[in-house]
Amino acid sequence: MAQLLDGKAVAKVLKEEIREEITQWKNKGLQPKLAVILVGDDPASVVYAHSKQKACEGIGMAFELFVMSADSLETEVLERIEGLNQDTEVHGIMIELPLPKGIRKEKIMAAVRPDKDVDGVHPLNRGYILSGQDGLFPATPQSCMELLLRCGVEIAGKHVVIVGRGETVGKPLVFLILKHNATVTICHSQTPDLGAFTSQADILIVAVGRAKLIKKDMVKAGAIVVDAGINEIPGGICGDVDFDTVQEVAALISPVPGGVGSLTTALVLRNVLKGIALQGRTY
């Protein structure tokens, strides 16, 4: 039976580290601050925005929420972003998604200053992750890496199979993994005989958004399985891995909930602090 990759335990350690760094910045005369823009009243986005506010308050980071109506013009949203780009008291900017119709997501995300882009989606940050340069990177792939590294998993020399090629998880994760000298295979919805690839993985990371896609017979005995999926099912949520059966063959496995998702908010806040350093501030 597999041991758990406990995201809640790792998140607790991360939050303490972040709290300490915030205190250090405060002692230097700087109050780290995250600004979130919410356009419209999408219920899930409202919940996510307030959860970030709660996380900031619990850790000593300043937070400001800018709520704009669903009929706001794209130019108005861009003006708000530019104001926050220029505000020296704001160190991280996040845009809650989805945006209302008529507002182009790509244009909005590209308008955020790269060194304040705590979502890690600006084209420059995407280029930095590809080239190995320092930048702000998406929280979920970072969560996968933190979970592995802080639980003592050796990545170098291992065969890592990633299922999912999305812009926010699969693609950036490839380059984060490669920095640790693994051999990487990436699979996706058009991969024939998916199990033939996943069963070769020393480390299997799944992020496709298909409930319980990965079954027991698709996983090598003793593999390490990281489930970055989240799916609504009757009675709750589940991941992309059939946890109950896969845990019988895996050595380590992350649960859903309680795994990758437990770290993401903390890593957004860590991106705020990294942004301060990238903004070249000295106090």
Tell me what pLDDT residue 280 has. 82
Output the average pLDDT for the chain: 96
Residue 211, both tokens: 């409930």
Tell me what pLDDT residue 282 has. 44
Residue 246 burial (10 A CB sphere; 0-12, 13-18, 19+) = buried
Cβ pair 42, 98 in contact under 8 A: yes
Domains of the chain: 31-113 (3.40.50.10860), 139-262 (3.40.50.720)
Q: Please give the helix or strand (H or E) that residue 150 lies within, else none.
A: helix 139-150
**SS3 assignment, position 25:** helix
Tell me what pLDDT residue 281 has. 54
Helical pair 43-59 and 7-27, crossing angle rounded to 10 deg: 60
Which residues of the chain fall short of a pLDDT of 70?
A: 281-283
